[in-house]
Structure 1
Amino acid sequence: MFLLALIALPLASAAADLHRHTIATGDGAIEYLDWGSGPSIVMIASLGRGAEDFEEVASGLADRGFRVIAPQPRGIGQSTSPSNPMSLHDYAADVAAVIEQTGTGPAVVLGHAYGNTVARTLAADRPDLVSGVILVAASGRAPLDKDVRAAIAKASDLSVPAAQRLQSLEVAYFAKGNDARVWLDGWYPDLQKRQWKAFNASKPDEYITAGGRVPILDIQGEEDAVIPGRYSQDLRRELGERVSVVVIPHAGHALIPEQPTAVMNAIADWLRLLQRSSRP
């Protein structure tokens, strides 16, 4: 039985506005986007992308009575660029600083794609701040296909013609028939390079245990080219029953812009299940 530090699930509220705030850290500043009020969900964006990717899902969850906070990675918006190379632990520490300064912990922490490694590192480094982890299109120990890796690199290379980038987006990120044009913009190549370095310098065991005892929701896209379906149960096999797996049809690695309502429903259903499980 899992216990989650959340109050009873709230009723829907009026449409929530987006607010932007900036906090000071010891070596700069971190901007975060903030929707709604209530139990907190902290969201960490995908490789080379910013917190704006969460706007539709975050707004929808805020309308259901949650507070959603999404820190901007360093180098985006008012989040200052790092002066030194960063590790996954450094990226996790930035998120921890936002949780601490907003007084929202312990919180459910969601990581999309690359962001899942930061979310799990945070749960391992600061279990006092994390009550649950949601993984969206998460990598684990699955190897990355070389053609998919090449498509990921080309999709975010702003020197490549848009038509070629669109093809790469369709190969790496989107299920067949979904509109990949929504991700033609919103890329930060310098951030992506820094994040790759942090990822390649880490070992999966540094983050994959996700902090020991917290419950995990593993949301997957049925047509994810980065993490194919044959790996869908790997994390549950490794970590056991604290992992709940939800596979969303007609979605790839981008997942959130492809099926935002299904992602919102999966999150809300999981929180309700955890609430029932925590009752005496």
Structure 2
Amino acid sequence: MDTRRVQRGPARIAYAAWGHGPAVLLLASLGRGAEDFFEVAPLIAAQGFRVLAPDPRGIGDSEGPMTGLTLYDLAEDAAAVLEAEGTGPALVAGHAFGNWVARALSACRPELVRGVVLLAASITQNLDPAVRASIDGSFDPALSEAERLGHLQRGYFAPGHDARVWLTGWHPPVARMQRAATAATDQRWRRCADRHATLYVAAALDTIAPVPTEAALREALGDRVALTVIPDAGHALLPEQPAATAAAVVAFAGRADAARHGRAEGPAIPRIGA
């Protein structure tokens, strides 16, 4: 792993990089950084890809204005990484909240995207209040470790998985910035599958983003979307099933290239997993 930085106006974006080949850009969840991909990224890179994982503003060495932003500003931060690397269009994968940044990048910089992967992604912003409470409680410093662990287990992790791996790595000011940026953004970013071939990677036991129907995917994202379901995983997904997550991204890379060049075959939404 190599660590690099790129300047974009008043913002400086630090990112981790692995491997060589076509670019795969990985965007982290709400209030979390590139370290979430430290198991997944090397597995993807080993299959012949240049894997890039930026830290959002406010995490690590990434910094910049934290107010007055939209999702497009966060997407342009990610675009700066791709432009600095000069790798050509990337397969862009966003985990949880990162899926919204990935979709915004598809909208505002389509020339930098060759396909989109949504990992345990909420395709709407409508959450059950109890689920929202577990999300907020997971990184609330006023709560005890036991209380936070309970929220993490209920909201993010499948039964039998150790939620303690996510007791650290949370950045509440970043989460607040990301939520405000989302609220300030128009709606044109949503339907990424109208612009790029898209893979939705569902976690079978996800309580925050339950496995969607194919009809719901089409309605929310567009017609060019495929679905795969990873068993024995919750919304956290990455620490629970890193090998399966990496395999899903790698398998889709070739399909995205084929779709981009008009060679896609088969039904609009094949179910890749079970």
Q: TM-score with structure 2 length normalisation?
A: 0.90
Matched AA of 2:35: E
8 Å contact kept, 2:199–2:225 = yes
Mapped to 1, the partners of 2:89 and 2:212 lie a distance apart of: 33
> How far, CA to CA, are the matches of 1:202 and 1:42 in structure 2?
22
Q: Give the C-alpha shift of residue 241 in structure 1.
A: 4.3
Task: Establish whether residue 256 from structure 1 lines up as the match of residue 205 from structure 2.
Answer: no
Structure 1 segment 62-211 matched on structure 2, within 5 A:
62-82=45-65, 84-141=67-124, 143-203=126-186, 205-210=187-192
> Which sits farther off after the overlay, 193-202 or 153-162?
193-202
Q: Secondary structure at the match of 2:38?
A: helix
Structure 2 counterpart of 1:28: 11
SS at the partner of 2:194?
Answer: coil
Counterpart of 2:253 in structure 1 is: 271
Partner Cα separation in structure 2 for residue 121 and residue 197 of structure 1: 15
- Equivalences for residues 44-55 of structure 1 within 5 A: 44-55=27-38
Give the match's secondary structure for 2:192: coil
- Whether the 8 Å CA contact 2:92–2:113 is kept in 1: the answer is yes
- Larger deviation, residues 93-102 vs 229-238: 229-238
Of 208, 233, 240, 1:226 maps to 208
Paired residues, what number? 262
- CA offsets 1:236-256 (integer angstroms, 9 cap, x no match): 345454101001111111111
TM-superposed deviation, 1:84: 3.2
Long gaps (5+) in structure 1 = 1-17
Alpha-carbon separation, structure 1, partners of 2:233 and 2:115: 24
Counterpart pick for 2:40 among 33, 47, 57: 57
Name the amino acid aligned to 1:96. Answer: A
Given the two structures, how large is their TM-score scaled by the length of structure 1? Answer: 0.88
The alpha carbon displacement at 1:275 in A equals: 5.3
Over the matched positions of the two proteins, sequence identity in percent amounts to: 46
Report the CA distance shift for 1:158/1:105 in structure 2 as closer, same or farther (over 3 A): farther
- In structure 1, what is the Cα distance between the partners aligned to 2:74 and 2:137? 24
2:179 match: secondary structure: helix
CA contact 1:236–1:245 (8 Å) conserved in 2: no
Q: Which shows bigger deviation, 230-239 or 176-185? A: 230-239
Deviation at 1:85, TM superposition (A): 2.7
Coordinate RMSD, CA, aligned: 1.9
